[in-house]
Structure 1
């Protein structure tokens, strides 16, 4: 017979998977669709800002759904591993590139 304490790691694993699934962005590693409208990986960018616009900016709009001040991912947490406020975007997409450079 299993004791309840032996089930704790299994329950914790299930809860962790459920929490990660809530932030269900596209993590397939494939080419992102929509957003920046870039020419894909075979078209070189003339500058870092152009690359950011083609490869990243459009995807951040999905993240911005939750990862803005006051959004559901803006949580203080109890440790660095659980703090949602470690990844917050500005509510203004025009500030993304400048904030990237500051970071």
Structure 2
């Protein structure tokens, strides 16, 4: 997503083509945290056809953020890993924002 402001929702679409010889069936897609929500296609993707998996990220975190999406499907490996990255700038870019919370 490049550089974003903290709390700014983001969305991307992973486009893919079924290069196999049977319908591609995605049975599940999970993310590494609750801040990232994958939305896989519900219907099988026929051989040679294209599909889209939409991923929404709520813009949480600070600095370099990487999240993973695990896609469970009838592929040779059975699971595929997708990654999203963003550099998240604090909402309040003042000097105290970079310090983080006091513990």
TM-score with structure 1 setting the length: 0.21
Q: Please identify the structure whose Cα radius of gyration is greater.
A: 1
Structure in which a larger fraction of residues adopt strand: 2
- Give the alignment's TM-score, normalised by structure 2: 0.21
User: Comparing both chains, which one has the higher relative contact order based on Cα–Cα distances under 8 Å and sequence gaps of 6 or more?
Assistant: 2
